[in-house]
Amino acid sequence: MIPYGRQDISEDDVRAVVDVLHSDWLTQGPAIERFEQAVARFCGSTYAVAVANATAGLHIACLAAGLGEGDAFWTSPNTFLASANCGVYCGATPGFVDVDAGTLNMDPAALEQRLVQARAARCVPKIVIPVHFGGQSCDMEPIARLAREYGFTVIEDASHAIGGQYRGRRVGSCEYSDMTVFSFHPVKIITSGEGGIVLTNRKDLYDKLVLLRSHGMTREAARMQGTSEGPWYYEQVALGFNYRLTDMQAALGLSQLQRTDHFVARRTELAQRYGELLRNVPVRTQACIAEAVSAWHLYVVQLAVGKSLRSRREVFEELRARDVGVNVHYIPVHLQPYYRRYGFAAGDFPVAEAYYAAALTLPLYPGLSDTQQESIVAHLRELLT
């Protein structure tokens, strides 16, 4: 079976992990600091906080921004559950902003329209979480302008997008946001096994993220409410978690980071080839905006639902039967049974719903060969024409 995504592990990666196993540190130690500094330098942000996974990173990013009960936050319906769960963990009320039919990213015009209504109803969200779907940055400049006008915090869910760019800077520079979160799950652009990181240029947020990552405890005298009782002394000054990454994971992540541009170059090449190979196949591909350079985490197409010979489900099952590991990203989050409790229903976000009804994710990862790709498209062409 050709999977839809797959990690690429080199001998250097293996050596980096083994070196840590031979060292004095296994959990958060010197490799974490090296990894954090390297990711921050790579992306052009000031600070970085490595965490157990991107879900944990999104959670403490929401808490650091002060999200709590009685607050609202908005994200895209076309995303993985974690982009919405993170705010619900904080006791806040979720909302969604529909996507653009071409880019499949949060539509800044729809965001503005909803904000105008929310201001009138006095329920402007505290946080907006744009998601860089498939690795292509959302159009962040208008979102940042709305953030200034309406006073919300912007957290980029860039789980798909390390190595991507927006307006000439790397995703993660936080030029148009308060914080950016990456995932290092094995199907993403680079991996640390499980893992994530939060980037920011704001010292106040960085300090909170560090506290929340590890139980809300500090050994820094300056951050204590009382005075130190001795070298053993620590204080818990917030309710934090154990969201730490291990040194083995950080060493793997750091080793993988060196090849980010190489991975993205191969993904881009494959995505361009898909574009050419699919020219005479009746599918719609994701639109690209001039301001962004995608990291190409996903290659998604939309079938001509109702007009093609076979349904999406038939095409999906037939491709799987032929060992092509297609997938579907994403079931709109507001349609999940858990989210229906907030009153969401089918029809609320019609663009994301129409996209989902037709969506198919084709395999895309650096190790996918040109020949495998050609056979994937040949199968698809045969099923659709």
What whole-number distance in Å separates Cα of residue 191 and Cα of residue 158? Answer: 14
Cβ nearer to ligand PLP, comparing 191 with 201: 191
Q: What's the min distance (Å) between Cβ of 24 and ligand PLP?
A: 27
| Single residue of 42, 80, 274, 316 touching ligand PLP by CB under 6 A | 80
Does residue 332 touch ligand PLP according to CB under 6 A? no
Cβ nearer to ligand PLP, comparing 160 with 202: 160
**Mode of pairing for the β-strands spanning 72-75 and 127-129:** parallel
Cβ nearer to ligand PLP, comparing 114 with 188: 188
Tell me the CA end-to-end span of the chain in Å, nearest whole number: 23
What whole-number distance in Å separates Cα of residue 326 and Cα of residue 145? Answer: 38
Cβ nearer to ligand PLP, comparing 82 with 293: 82
State the alpha helices, DSSP H only, in 171-302. Answer: 203-213, 247-257, 260-277
Q: How distant, in Å, are the alpha carbons of 54, 107, 119, 277 from that of 113?
A: 29, 10, 10, 38
What whole-number distance in Å separates Cα of residue 61 and Cα of residue 262? Answer: 29
Q: What's the min distance (Å) between Cβ of 311 and ligand PLP?
A: 26
| Single residue of 7, 45, 75, 79 touching ligand PLP by CB under 6 A | 79
Q: Is the peptide bond before 330 cis (omega within 30 degrees of 0)?
A: yes
Cβ nearer to ligand PLP, comparing 244 with 379: 244
Query: Quick check: 346 and 356 in contact, CB under 8 A?
Result: no
Q: What's the min distance (Å) between Cβ of 117 and ligand PLP?
A: 26
| Single residue of 87, 94, 164, 196 touching ligand PLP by CB under 6 A | 196
Interaction residues for ligand PLP, span 129-158 (CB under 6 A): 131, 157
Q: Which amino acid is at 52?
A: A
Contacting range for ligand PLP; rule: CB under 6 A; set: 79-87, 122-130, 216-224, 354-362: 79-87
State the alpha helices, DSSP H only, in 322-349. Answer: 337-340
Cβ nearer to ligand PLP, comparing 111 with 315: 111
Beta bridge partners of 73: 94, 127
Query: Quick check: 118 and 93 in contact, CB under 8 A?
Result: no
Interaction residues for ligand PLP, span 263-322 (CB under 6 A): none
Cβ nearer to ligand PLP, comparing 92 with 281: 92
Sequence length of the chain is: 385
Q: What's the min distance (Å) between Cβ of 304 and ligand PLP?
A: 26
Does residue 185 touch ligand PLP according to CB under 6 A? yes
Q: Which residues contact 223 (CB under 8 A, 6 or more apart)?
A: 207, 211, 235, 237
Cβ nearer to ligand PLP, comparing 185 with 334: 185
Q: How distant, in Å, are the alpha carbons of 6, 110, 333, 339 from that of 77?
A: 25, 13, 5, 11
What whole-number distance in Å separates Cα of residue 84 and Cα of residue 94? Answer: 7
What whole-number distance in Å separates Cα of residue 195 and Cα of residue 343? Answer: 33
What whole-number distance in Å separates Cα of residue 29 and Cα of residue 134? Answer: 32
| Single residue of 59, 114, 160, 266 touching ligand PLP by CB under 6 A | 160
- The contact mask relative to ligand PLP for 19-58 (x = CB under 6 A, - = no) is ----------------------------------xxx---
Does residue 7 touch ligand PLP according to CB under 6 A? no
Interface residue list for ligand PLP (CB under 6 A): 53-55, 79-80, 82-83, 131, 157, 159-160, 183, 185, 196
